[in-house]
Amino acid sequence: MKNILSKENRKEKILKIIQDEKNIEQGYGVRVKIQGEMKPLPAYKIPLDCLIYNRYNGRIASRVKTYEKEYRDLNPEKIEDAKQIEEFLWESDEKKNEATMEDLLSGQNVAGVITLDGKIADGNRRVCLLNRILDDAEKNPKKYEKTDVSKCKYFIAAVVEKDLSDSELLELELSVQLAEEKVGYNAIEKYLKCDQLKGAGFSDEAIKTMMRYDSINDVKKDYDMKRLMDEFLEYIGYSGIYTRLDEVEDPFLGLYSTIKKVDAGKLGKDFDWNPDELDLNDLKIASFNYIRADLENINTEKSYRYVTGINKDAFFKTEKAWKTYIETTKNVIDKSREEEKSFDDLRKENPGSKIDDLMSSRDKEWTEKISDKIKEGFGKSKSIVEAKVDNDKPVKLLSEAKYKIEGINPNTEAFYSEEVTNLLKELGSMIWELKKINEKGLKND
């Protein structure tokens, strides 16, 4: 990309193209919904310097918002910012983009959609790849000696001639992309898009239609999920940095489900207590910490489900297990949070570092401080839950306890502590009581 015309020049150039019927590209027409009405539109060859990217495109919204949080708002009419948007589009799916570039060298198969002033409603990625081909051809002319790249100097697109508001442009983008089933939003992009539509003033019913949700409840769920994720980012110090949410959708879905179940009073028989609002807050905080630590597969696959409450044997369903987990982990987590340097301070100290690298190193350092206690709390609570399931199998439970006690090594410094002394006294009392109950029962027999 070498040049982007001004808005007035873009509009003048595009208008001149579409006013001549000879410029219509046969076989490329599209049907689009404009201001509530479906209309067929012809397509034309539009020079690339007449086009500007849609920065909040569904494929890259999380990366754009994160960039804007860290640096500045992106202006797609500036070359520097347009190139940054191209980088996000390329990185969104490099393998697919490479394949599409090969296809584009043979010609464009379908038309995109733009506004009269060159805003791209559909075709961000393809325009990015056309620009990439031209840049590469200029840098490596020998690579394209036998390839005609002149066809890449234009983007075949239908032109919406009406002036559209931001919300109407957003509706147009969705109607075209979803109608063609072109958008495969990743998890966070879907929630951001739902939130964007809500913020633009669209009703739940309109969002349901535009995003092809099955029900209005699904709209509300995704909007609430976005708010829950925002809470998480704010709690761990990364407010507005949405790239931190990559690959973490499932834990949030479990947490959301548990919260809704408790709020609705639909606990079911698997709950042995009635958690209140403070307990729900503990659940959120504990889940946020577990998600941040990313301690996957502690003794079991998808271990976060025990903490977020979605597993059938989740700690939150058993009062003793849950209180044990909180009591074991709370102090060390609170202390580590108090001692942790804020992310803003870390960025000031490392102005040249990438935001993802800083987050990764900060999270790793924090996790190293708290992981042992989280694992300890997880083990204790899981044992409580398992014991509850096996409470009518005393031989099994006592045998497991015996094997674990036999595994203790008294020839270590850690064995000689006040905590171990107290636990031995507590175990001795428990065994004595069980022994008396057992002997009494045997006599009665």
Whole-angstrom distance, CA of residue 406 vs CA of residue 384: 20
Q: How far is CA 409 from CA 193, 413, 415, 426, in A?
A: 56, 10, 7, 19
Do residues 213 and 313 both lie within one domain? no
- Could you tell me if residue 253 is inside a domain? no
Mean residue pLDDT across the chain = 88
Give the CA-trace dihedral at 141, 142, 145, 147, to 10 degrees: -70
The pLDDT value recorded for residue 391 is: 59
Token match 């809470």: residue?
A: 231
Cα 313 from Cα 291, distance rounded (Å): 19
Verify that 216 and 325 share a domain, yes or no.
no
H-type helices in 276-417, by residue range? 277-293, 304-308, 319-339, 343-349, 355-389, 394-406
Instruction: Report the distance separating Cα 59 and Cα 417, nearest Å.
Output: 55
Please check whether residue 1 lies inside any domain of the structure. no
pLDDT of residue 310 exceeding 60, the answer is yes
Position 251 in a domain: no
Picking from 183, 214, 229, the residue at the C-terminal end of a domain is: 183
With vertex at residue 302, the alpha carbon angle to CA 224 and CA 328, rounded to the nearest 5 degrees, is 85
Number of independent structural domains in the chain: 4
Whether residues 332 and 313 share a domain: the answer is yes
Same-domain status, 419 and 342: no
Amino acid at 183: V
Residue 256 falls inside a structural domain = no
pLDDT at 283 over 90: yes
Question: What is the domain range of residue 143?
Answer: 7-183
Shared domain check, 176 and 49: yes
Domain assignment present for 155: yes
Query: Tens of pLDDT along 120-159?
Result: 989 999 999 999 999 999 999 999 988 999 999 999 999 9
pLDDT at 354 > cutoff 50: yes
Residues 67 and 194 in one domain: no
Residues 288 and 360 in one domain: yes
Asked whether residue 347 carries a pLDDT value surpassing 80, the answer given is: yes
In a shared domain, residues 383 and 421: no
Q: pLDDT digit string (tens) for 30-42?
A: 888 777 778 899 9
Spatial separation of the C-alpha atoms in residues 269 and 274, rounded to whole Å: 11
pLDDT of residue 178: 61
369 lies in the same domain as 427: no
Kindly report the pTM of this predicted structure.
0.77
Place of tokens 């000696």: 145
User: Is the pLDDT at 377 greater than 90, yes or no?
Assistant: yes
Section 303-329 average pLDDT: 92
179-214 per-position pLDDT tens digit = 554 445 567 888 998 999 999 899 999 999 888 899
Q: Which helix (H) or strand (E) holds 156?
A: strand 154-160
Domain final residue pick, 183, 214, 235 = 183
Question: Does residue 399 belong to any structural domain of this protein?
Answer: no
How much is the CA Rg of the chain, to the nearest whole Å? 29
CB proximity list for 393: less than 8 A, separation 6 or greater:
none
Do residues 272 and 382 both lie within one domain?
A: yes
Pair (373, 417) in one structural domain: no
Report residue 310 as tokens.
Answer: 């979605």
In a domain, 261, yes or no: no
If asked whether residues 114 and 143 sit together in one domain, one would say yes
Residue type, 44: Y
Q: 117: pLDDT confidence band, cut at 50, 70 and 90?
A: very high
Lowest mean pLDDT among 72-81, 162-171, 181-190, 229-238: 181-190
Query: What integer pLDDT is reported at residue 182 of this predicted model?
Result: 47
Is position 137 within any domain?
yes
